[in-house]
Amino acid sequence: METAISGGELLARQLKKEQVDTVFTLIGNQVSPTIVYLAENGIRVIHTRTETGAVLMANGWAQAKRRAGVAIISGGPGFANAVSAIIKSYYARIPLVVIAGAIVPQQRDNGVLAECEQVSFIKPYAKWACTVYDPARIPEYLSRAIQFSSTGRKGPVVLEIPINILKQKTQAVHVFDCDLISADASLAVPEKTDELLEMLSAARKPVIIAGDEVFFDRAEAQLTEFVELTGVPVYTTSRGRGCIPDAHPLCMGPGRVLEAGPQLYAFRHADLVITVGLESDYQVENLKPPRFGESQKLVAINKEVFSVINGNCRPDLVLTGRADMVLGQICARLRKMQERRGSNFDGWVDELKENDRKFWSDLERGSISSESPFLHPLHGLKLIKRMIRPDALIVLDGSNAMFWGGLCFDCNRPGQLIYGPDGQFGPMGTGVAVAIGAKAAEPHREVVLYTGDGSFGFNAMEMDTAVRFNLPVMVFVHNDQTWGFCKTTQEILYGKTEAADLGMVRYDRMVEALGGFGGLATDLNTLEECIARARESGLPSCINVMVDKYAYSPGVHSFNEALKLQK
């Protein structure tokens, strides 16, 4: 007869079977029946300072690993703390499993501590949310949760497991294998592939915009082949950055319209836009005018049609299926036809490169005129780019700081750039925890966070977690001593500002007090010195970069111009 085992230990065993090697958590009575068994099952436990931080670290881990991250949190106030991070993961389509503790169900409505209606609250913001009432079914539920979060439209799954279920003994200790039929394994209808190629033949100024699913579907090789077979210039967005290297002659760099770089010219003048694994949301302004042309054709390749069709976007053609499979299908058709269209678009590519050169020349000229005693962000970022490692994983957070970073950093490896405020939810202040989670996933890779001073403050205490677990992220605080983006918006709409100034804060000393490295940079010389010393220290570091408070990014200027039109 098999020995009885508690639900909590059974959960730890199933996590191991699912090849989960890292769990992010914050200690709590409701989840301790599982936490105490994790280490003995070979699972690294990273315990954080907030439940928000735990879920955000699992989020960063998932983005670095391209598979589901796992967080374990207590119910009640612990669950409430984690809600914003779960919602972020839902709108950003990050595979995540959140295991939440809960009170004994029979004690509901009886004045018990930490009671909270969790499942019904979070259901609109999760791919699946449910309560486990039988310890014997924990392996089944966990296996389903991990696979469900990672297939189709990726996103968070929330499993609520009451404390009595985690403590209860069961003899049903068999592990569970779940083989879900996945909508991912799909190809486009052949006729639609031919229709795409016909539209491409008729085009003179086509562009490709590659999005998140190119990264999650591991379609970087197929994307590169598609670009090279057709000769069509490509822009990459969010997690798609680096899936074709920025250094590739046909990769034109960042594609989010929010950064308001050279891509705006391309999108406005293109006659055909082909999106791959891209959601038609605010980050690309729904692929609609005025950022995009009035009469251009739009083709969308995506595994889920509702990702590209909404009230603001109606593509002329949709090819439904996984990015790697559909692009591979198209490339096979092109090879069979022995078509090479690259020369057809050489003039268009040259036009885009000339626009790119002019954009950067004008931006550089504008940065020289600054009279601030502090650094212009453009100059600081140039130095940072030169000094960080070529394969560094870069996390961005904030608003003005994020726009500068998204515009300036180069990405030559898949998923090299992670936006903290990603997805439609767009929460600032997530970068510190996301970067730490990414470092936990990739301990031998340099992880850099470029964040605004306001956004750094949200989860700054998680730098203690980085110190305790020897996760040496390198944080650059873009310190303009203000909530810069919001301040400019107030000035434009109301002619005055309030609650916008933060003043001079020594974030570097705060991190130093936690056991990390701190450095203050006021010019290029001190910035270079700080980077060298931070790397030499081997510690989690905070480089407090004092920047010109009036050096607004092209993205901020573009956003504010749009506000003027709405006024």
**441: CB partners within 8 A, 6+ apart:** 22, 60, 61, 64, 65
Domain 190-353: state its class. Answer: alpha beta
Q: Which pTM does this prediction carry?
A: 0.94
Ordered alpha helix ranges (H), 39-76 = 51-65
Cα 52 to Cα 379: distance, rounded to the nearest angstrom: 34
**48: CB partners within 8 A, 6+ apart:** 24, 25, 26, 54, 57, 433, 462, 465
pLDDT of residue 368: 81
What six digits make up the tokens of 220? Answer: 């970087």
Q: What is the distance, to the nearest Å, from the Cα of residue 316 to the centroid of all Cα atoms in its chain? A: 28
Q: What is the rounded end-to-end Cα distance, in angstroms, of the chain? A: 74
Which long-range contacts link 559-565 to residues 24+ away (Cβ below 8 Å)? 559/258, 559/260, 559/485, 559/489, 560/488, 560/489, 560/492, 563/489, 563/492, 563/493, 564/492
Q: Superfamily for 370-566?
A: Thiamin diphosphate (ThDP)-binding fold, Pyr/PP domains (3.40.50.970)
pLDDT of residue 307: 64
Domain 5-170 = CATH 3.40.50.970: yes
- Is 538 or 564 the better-scoring residue by pLDDT? 538
Sequence letter at residue 25? T
pLDDT of residue 181: 47
pLDDT tens-digit series, residues 287-334: 989 899 989 999 999 987 766 666 566 788 999 989 999 999 999 999
Among 180-189, 348-357, 363-372, name the one with the lowest average pLDDT: 180-189
DSSP assignment letter at 47:
E
Query: How open is the CA angle 30-78-115, to the nearest 5 degrees?
Result: 65
pLDDT of residue 234: 98
Same CATH fold, 370-566 and 5-170? yes
pLDDT tens-digit series, residues 444-470: 999 999 999 999 999 999 999 999 999
Classify the C-alpha dihedral 135-55-241-244 as positive or negative. Answer: negative
Show me where the domains of the chain are located: 5-170, 190-353, 370-566
DSSP string, 112-172: -TT----HHHHGGGSSEEEE---GGGHHHHHHHHHHHHHSSS--EEEEEEEHHHHHSEES-
Hey, how many other C-beta atoms are within 10 angstroms of the C-beta on 382? 15
Please determine, for residue 239, whether its predicted confidence score (pLDDT) is greater than 90. Answer: yes
